Each structure stands twice: as structure tokens, then as C-alpha cells.
């Protein structure tokens, strides 16, 4: 038996948990750095789904503009052969033993990247009475509900029931709520009303309910104001500002001031919560349940553990819960991992978020964009929005399919198949 070679070093084990924008883009960054290197670490990606979901286009799936299969990409088609993919749910981290416990097995690590993302924060809203928009299943459920409501309304002679079925209140005026309101308006106006001629346009309404004085608070003031004006150009969108939801039940919602909105389809887009994972040891979290990380995106007590995306809260400043921010964090995490496993031991890079631009879709041919100091509105901004997101899709086939979906949507009605 040969004696062990003291010069031989085992490859570091890097485990990435989560295949959303944070986790998958960390892998892609590491792949670029190591795929031609003989020192490639042992890399494992753990995710409870076997696909990457392009969440920025969920509202278009929910309104028949984009096919659901075109915004998901099987993970094994993204990874190269030297990466292990584990289809499992991450359950617990033991930072003392450096083990990740999953629903399938235990995975040892030298470095751990946590990027589990977030889910809908239902707060006190009853889950049985509101629809969300965070997963592909949510998008299917919302589309099916809209179609079912039109079918029921079309057969009902009761004007109050028809109004209830054709009223779509959206709770939350962030980017998701604003884009969804515009798309429901387009879907119902340009497609559904043509297929259901007995339903009058004035029977259909979309209510956007926001607790603050202005929509999309993370955007610049001029984009907020312009977006509000463009939304109000849709005849069937009613915007409620400085309005909080006091009650949700099976007959509708009540907002501040006692205003009652009868509806069979309340939609919640306000607020998210980090997807949970247990720790065998105490770790720092903020009041929202996010893991507190230092400027290098490491857990202060366990520097071999990184966290990013919606589940992380950097000590050196707030970061928006967006795909753009998760991508930027992924680049820093990948860089710092390379420094840690490098023999040269270069200084780590601090994460500082810099907004590259702001884009929001506001319906057919309408959008708002700010790139640097340049502000663009209307059709050009809409084209930029679509070009930007088509370019960010992973896989050429998905890029092509989404562009084809959008092209077909210009000339033909949207898809109204229940999924």
C-alpha cells in the first residue's frame, strides 16, 4: 500500500442550495472560472425542483402571453457533467460538522452557498381566499381562475355575481403587482372580451391596492408617476393609493375606509418571506427571517457559509429583492469563493449594490425605463423591456420560443387554455 502523498490536496467541496437567480448564477460564474482548470472543485447543486424558473415572466404566463414551458429550463440541461445535481429539499445545516441535511441524504461541504429565495408572505391573509404569483403553479392557478370566472359570468344572469366574478383586486403596488394589473387588463380586454361577447367591457375591472402614496417605491420618482399615469390609461384599472386591506374572505376584500370590493379572485403580490432552512446552531437573522451576512456575503460566525438573494440581509445596506440584485451578489460570492480556495489568498470583495437600470412593463406597447440618467417611456421602453428579458432567459431555445410567443401575441388572441 502506498503512503499518502503529503503534496496531494483534496478538492474543496462547494455546495450550492437553491437554483434561482442567486444559486444558478453563482454556479454559472464558478463554471466560467473553473471549467478549463484542473483545480475545479467538487461542486454540488441542491434544489427541490429540477428546473430553473424565470420568475420575471410569470405574470405573462398567468395571462396567456407566454407558454409556461418556455420560462423553465431543466437544470441538468444547464449543468455540465462534472457537477452533481441533487433533487432534494434542504432541511438543516450543521455548521459544526459542515454537513447539509436534505430530504434525500446528507451532503458534506467545505463551502456552502445558501440561495433558497423567497415565497409569498401571506401574513394574516387566508391562503384559501387569495392567489399568489411566485411559482409556475401559482401562474397556472391564476390563469385558470380568470378563465373559470369568465365562463361562470357568461352563464350567470345575476349582475352582482357577474361583477364579483369579473373583478380582480391585486394587493400590492410593487413591480409585480403593477405589471400583473396591466397584463390582466390586456388579457381581459384584448382576448377574453372578444371570446365572450355577452360580457360588457364595463363589467370587468382590475383594482390595484397599495398601502403607500406612490406605486413601485423602489423606482425613481419620475418612473413612479409615469407608471401611474400609464396604468390609468387602461380604462378598467382602478388604483387605490394609501389603502390597506382590512379583510379578505370568500366574497371579496375590504380596504381602509370601509370600501368593499366584491371579488372571487383576490391576488396577493405584496411582500415575500425567505424560504426557511434550519440550523443546528444559532445564526443571526433579522425580523423578516433573513440571514444576516457581512459585506462579503458570509455568515459572520461561519465564514465558509455564504447567503445571497432574498434570504440574505447584508450588514452594509439594504438590497432590493430582485433578480438583478441576486445576479450581482452571485458574482461577488463566486469571486470570494475563488479567493478562499486559491493558494494566493487575495483579499475578498465587498458587495455594494449598484442599480444598472429600472424597467417595468405597463401593458401592450407601454413601459417605463431608466438606464443611467436616461428615462424612456412608451413603445421604445416596452421594446427595451422585452429585449432585456428575452436576453436574460437561459438557453437559446427558450429565448427563441418566448420571442415567438410575443410575436404571435401581436397578431392573434392569447392562449385561453386551462392548464
Give the CATH number of the domain where residue 115 resides.
3.50.50.60
Residues 280 and 325 placed together within one structural domain of the fold = yes
Mean of pLDDT values over 257-281: 94
- At 3 the pLDDT is 42
Q: Are residues 176 and 277 in the same domain?
A: no
Residues 21 and 170 placed together within one structural domain of the fold? no
At 23-34, the pLDDT tens digits run 999 999 998 887
Are 150 and 290 part of one and the same domain? Answer: no
**Which of 341, 375, 393 is where one domain is finished?**
341
pLDDT band at 82 (very low <50, low <70, confident <90, very high): confident
- Domain check: are 230 and 379 in the same one? yes
| Domain's final residue, options 316, 341, 366 | 341
Residue at 392 is within a domain: yes
Asked whether residue 198 is assigned to any structural domain, the reply reads yes
Q: What is the mean pLDDT of residues 277-289?
A: 94
The answer to the question of residue 336 being in a domain is yes
Shared domain check, 146 and 111: no
Across 310-339, average pLDDT? 92
The pTM of this model reads: 0.93
**pLDDT band with cut points at 50, 70 and 90 for residue 312:** very high
Residue 1 has a pLDDT of 36
Instruction: Please state the domain count of the chain.
Output: 2
286 occurs within a structural domain = yes
Mean pLDDT of 65-77: 95
212 and 158 share a domain? yes
Q: Are residues 302 and 200 in the same domain?
A: no
Q: What pLDDT digit, counting tens, does each position of 199-247 carry? A: 999 999 999 999 999 999 989 999 999 999 999 999 899 999 999 999 9
Q: What is the mean pLDDT of the chain?
A: 92
The residue that leads in pLDDT, 6 or 295, is: 295
Please tell me the predicted confidence (pLDDT) of residue 22.
Answer: 96
Looking at residue 27, its pLDDT comes to 95
Residue 85 has pLDDT above 50, yes or no: yes
Residue 414 has pLDDT above 90, yes or no: yes
Same domain, 27 and 106: yes
Beta pairing class for 13-17 and 111-114: parallel
Q: Give pLDDT, residue 274.
A: 94
On the question of pLDDT at 310 being above 50, the answer is yes
The CATH number linked to 201 is 3.50.50.100
pLDDT at 9: 61
pLDDT at 221: 92
In a shared domain, residues 168 and 238: yes
Q: Which of 341, 372, 392 is the last residue of a domain?
A: 341
State which residues form the domain around 302. Answer: 13-48+88-120+272-341
pLDDT band for 271, please (50, 70, 90 cuts): confident
Identify whether 386 is part of a domain: yes
Domain check: are 258 and 279 in the same one? Answer: no
Would you say residue 407 lies in a domain?
yes
Amino acid at each position: 500500500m502506498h503512503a499518502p502523498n503529503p503534496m496531494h490536496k483534496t478538492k474543496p467541496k462547494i455546495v450550492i442550495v437553491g437554483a434561482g437567480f442567486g444559486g444558478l448564477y453563482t454556479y454559472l460564474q464558478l463554471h466560467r472560472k473553473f471549467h478549463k482548470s484542473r483545480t475545479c472543485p467538487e461542486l454540488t447543486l441542491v434544489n427541490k425542483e429540477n428546473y430553473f424558473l424565470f420568475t420575471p415572466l410569470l405574470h405573462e404566463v398567468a395571462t396567456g402571453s407566454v407558454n409556461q414551458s418556455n420560462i423553465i429550463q431543466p437544470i441538468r440541461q444547464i449543468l455540465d457533467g462534472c457537477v452533481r445535481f441533487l433533487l432534494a429539499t434542504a432541511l438543516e445545516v450543521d455548521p459544526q460538522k459542515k454537513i447539509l441535511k436534505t430530504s434525500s441524504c446528507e451532503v458534506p461541504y467545505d463551502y456552502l452557498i445558501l440561495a433558497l429565495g423567497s415565497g409569498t408572505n401571506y401574513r394574516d391573509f387566508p391562503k384559501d381566499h387569495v392567489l399568489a404569483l411566485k411559482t409556475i403553479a401559482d401562474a397556472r392557478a391564476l390563469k385558470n381562475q380568470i378563465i373559470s370566472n369568465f365562463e361562470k359570468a357568461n352563464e350567470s344572469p345575476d349582475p352582482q355575481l357577474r361583477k364579483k366574478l369579473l373583478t380582480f383586486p391585486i394587493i400590492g403596488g410593487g413591480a409585480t403587482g403593477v405589471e400583473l394589473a396591466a397584463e390582466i387588463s390586456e388579457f381581459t380586454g384584448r382576448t377574453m372580451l372578444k371570446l365572450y361577447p355577452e360580457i360588457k367591457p364595463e363589467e370587468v375591472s382590475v383594482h390595484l391596492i397599495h398601502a403607500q402614496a406612490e406605486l413601485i417605491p423602489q423606482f425613481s420618482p419620475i418612473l413612479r408617476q409615469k407608471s401611474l399615469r400609464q396604468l390609468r390609461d387602461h380604462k378598467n384599472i382602478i388604483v387605490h393609493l394609501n389603502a390597506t386591506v382590512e379583510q379578505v374572505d370568500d366574497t371579496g376584500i375590504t380596504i381602509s375606509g370601509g370600501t368593499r370590493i366584491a371579488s372571487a379572485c383576490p391576488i396577493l403580490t405584496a411582500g415575500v418571506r425567505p424560504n426557511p432552512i434550519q440550523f443546528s446552531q444559532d445564526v443571526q437573522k433579522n425580523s423578516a427571517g433573513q440571514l444576516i451576512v457581512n459585506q462579503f456575503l458570509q455568515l459572520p460566525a461561519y465564514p465558509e457559509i455564504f447567503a445571497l438573494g432574498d434570504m440574505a440581509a447584508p450588514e452594509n445596506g439594504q438590497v432590493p429583492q430582485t433578480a438583478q440584485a441576486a445576479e450581482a451578489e452571485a458574482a461577488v460570492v463566486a469571486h470570494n469563493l475563488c479567493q478562499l480556495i486559491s493558494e494566493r489568498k487575495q483579499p475578498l470583495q465587498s458587495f455594494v449594490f449598484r442599480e444598472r437600470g429600472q424597467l417595468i412593463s405597463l401593458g401592450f406597447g407601454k413601459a417605463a425605463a431608466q438606464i443611467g440618467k436616461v428615462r424612456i417611456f412608451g413603445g421604445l421602453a416596452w421594446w427595451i423591456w422585452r429585449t432585456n428579458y428575452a436576453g436574460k432567459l437561459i438557453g437559446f431555445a427558450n429565448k427563441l420560443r418566448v420571442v415567438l410567443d410575443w410575436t404571435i401575441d401581436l397578431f392573434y388572441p392569447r392562449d385561453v387554455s386551462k392548464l
